[in-house]
Amino acid sequence: MILVTGGAGFIGSNFVLDWLARTDEAVLNLDKLTYAGNLENLASLQGDARHVFVQGDIGDSTLLDSLLTQHRPRAVLNFAAESHVDRSIHGPEDFIQTNVVGTMRLLQSVRAYWQSLDEKQRTAFRFLHVSTDEVYGSLSPTAPAFTENNKLEPNSPYSASKAASDHLVRAWLHTYGLPVLTTNCSNNYGPLHFPEKLIPLIIVNALAGKPLPVYGDGLQIRDWLYVKDHCSAIRRVLEAGRVGEIYNVGGWNEKPNIDIVNTVCTLLDELRPRGDGASYKTQISYVQDRPGHDRRYAIDASKIERELGWRPAETFESGIRKTVQWYLENQAWVTHVQSGAYRDWVQTNYARRS
């Protein structure tokens, strides 16, 4: 069995679904079920004995100790995190509690469990920490892409909290010998993505006839990674990654945000045309940029390809088409996740930027 934290969120649930589609090894899934955690993501696993779900917090040491002792996983994969930059600007404390304090308590519980294992089990055990390229800060237009040797220069409360968690994971390796692995991924997109992030927000707003908000000039550049490619990279790092190493995971797809928005609109024009025949691009609305908005991220994923033989299977063109089609085919899921709390958040974040 493996333990996955945050396994009802976007990346975590995709990972759990892919894992159980490829192996019979069971998953103990621990998720707090905050606004972005959604058991509907895992509905296809209902009744599957290989999937054991527990609602709980990685900051709850008593619960962690009990679960580890009872289920005895051979690996722990930490997806659990508060992950939205805009929310971190409005309320940074939640990010410190989950991403810093929660990670520390998870590491402590896992360390105690790991030390209780026999020598063979200790040698085989792994703690894999899933992080982000945002910990590296911002790049100039001509700077080389982030490698694993870049120093951490976070610029938002979210990225600062993730950088802190990365440092904690490193410290538990060097101080206590815990066999850790860290992955730093670029911007994920794909099925089951909560519609506060750029791509699902544009799809949802376009279909609802609402403005498509683009921060500033829309020329902020990101590297885009299809979520199922990210899942395959994590499986490969867990399988063969060298203890203590960091692996950058990217899609080799650097694109400005406005290009992403235009691409989504073009696909929607093809797959779900507006009734009036106009393009969804007419709904694009430039809004005030967010504070401290990093201008460019870019991932150099050469190391994971060189050492572990991993490359993304999807191009951006194939991945974004699959993503748009998934949202068009799963409107009920979208409706259910757009609770009153979500609508209140969108109003809070975007009303003042008009």
Would you call 134 a catalytic residue per the annotation?
yes
State the catalytic residue, choosing from 57, 134, 223, 300. Answer: 134
Would you call 133 a catalytic residue per the annotation?
yes
State the catalytic residue, choosing from 31, 133, 300, 314. Answer: 133
Would you call 329 a catalytic residue per the annotation?
no
State the catalytic residue, choosing from 158, 226, 297, 350. Answer: 158
- Range 31-35 contact pairs with CB under 8 angstroms and sequence separation of 24 or more: 31/5, 31/6, 31/7, 31/55, 31/56, 31/80, 32/56, 32/57, 32/58, 32/80, 32/98, 33/8, 34/82, 35/194, 35/339, 35/341, 35/342, 35/345
Q: Which residues are catalytic?
A: 133-134, 158
